[in-house]
Structures are given as structure tokens and as C-alpha cells.
């Protein structure tokens, strides 16, 4: 979100990078100080309905911020962009574009795609079932091996 920070990181000017980081740190400190002052004014009259609503909102936001900070520290990969990998390949001599899921336990093919590739004749229906995850889908069976390139 900050082109000057990105440029400073990509460049060789360490002094400029330090200045930008110091400036960001000062801005965060000033914002925090201002929020604390506003909250102190609200606590000065805790029986005011509007003050109570603002105090409640501040407490809620603090919880959200702490949750975000914990997530950034312990699960930073959840905040990165993931580029989906698609590859050109052939299955049983039929050209396809396939999605690569490096964490998958098995390879899944749709019935239509298996039919186009001439693989339905190899479908072992003893492995029928239901796949449950984000959604739910019927598993028609298993094709134990197929030629891919």
C-alpha cells in the first residue's frame, strides 16, 4: 500500500528506508496516543450512553486488533496472496489444463473429464463414497493409474 516504502526496500538506500520506517512508527504512536486520550475523555463520564457505546466499540476494536496481531505472528501465510498453479498436460493422450494442489492427498477428475479422456472404463466403483469439505460431492470410484504427460 506504500509505494515509497516499496521503492526504499527495492533500492539500496538504507537511510531512506530507516526514515520511512521511523515515520510510520511515529504516525502509529501518535494515533495510539490520540485514541488513548479520546478513551480517557469517554471514561470521564462513564454514565453517558454515547460514551458507553464508544467505549464498547473501542474494546471490541482492541480485541479485533489483538486477534489480528496474533494471527500475523502465528499464521502469517494466511495473509499472503496465493497464486494458483495451472499446467498444460495430457491425460491418456487428451490435452488438458490441470490445477496443481501440492497439498492434496489424491488427484480428482470430474466424470465429464474422465469420459473425454476415455478413463471411465477403468473406474473401480468399489471406491464409491462422498467427499465432504467446503461442499459435498459424490465420489464415483477410483481410477488406479492413467497415462499422463
Q: Please tell me the total number of residues recorded for the chain in this structure.
A: 149
Architecture category of domain 85-139 in CATH: Beta Barrel (2.40)
How, if at all, do strands 129-132 and 94-100 pair?
Answer: unpaired
Question: Using one digit for the tens of pLDDT, what is the confidence trace for 18-68?
Answer: 999 999 999 999 999 998 998 888 888 878 898 899 889 999 999 999 999
Give pLDDT, residue 102.
86
Task: Please compute Rg for the chain using Cα positions.
Answer: 28
Question: Using one digit for the tens of pLDDT, what is the confidence trace for 81-135?
Answer: 888 899 999 999 999 999 998 888 888 999 999 999 999 999 999 999 998 888 9
Supply the residues annotated as catalytic.
Answer: 101
Task: Give, as one character, the DSSP assignment of residue 128.
Answer: -
Amino acid at each position: 500500500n506504500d509505494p515509497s516504502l516499496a521503492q526504499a526496500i527495492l533500492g539500496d538506500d538504507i537511510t531512506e528506508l530507516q526514515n520511512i520506517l521511523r515515520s510510520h512508527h511515529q504516525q502509529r504512536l501518535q494515533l495510539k496516543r490520540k485514541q488513548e486520550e479520546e478513551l480517557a475523555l469517554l471514561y470521564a463520564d462513564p454514565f453517558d450512553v454515547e460514551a458507553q457505546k464508544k467505549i464498547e466499540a473501542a474494546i471490541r476494536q482492541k480485541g479485533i486488533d489483538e486477534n489480528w496481531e496474533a494471527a500475523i505472528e502465528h499464521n502469517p501465510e494466511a495473509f499472503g496472496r496465493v497464486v494458483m498453479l495451472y499446467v498444460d498436460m495430457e491425460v491418456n493422450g487428451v490435452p488438458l489444463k490441470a490445477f496443481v494442489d501440492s497439498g492434496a492427498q489424491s488427484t480428482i477428475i470430474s466424470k465429464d473429464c474422465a469420459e473425454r479422456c476415455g478413463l471411465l472404463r477403468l473406474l473401480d466403483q468399489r471406491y464409491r463414497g462422498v467427499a465432504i469439505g467446503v461442499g459435498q460431492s459424490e465420489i464415483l470410484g477410483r481410477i488406479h493409474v492413467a497415462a499422463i504427460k
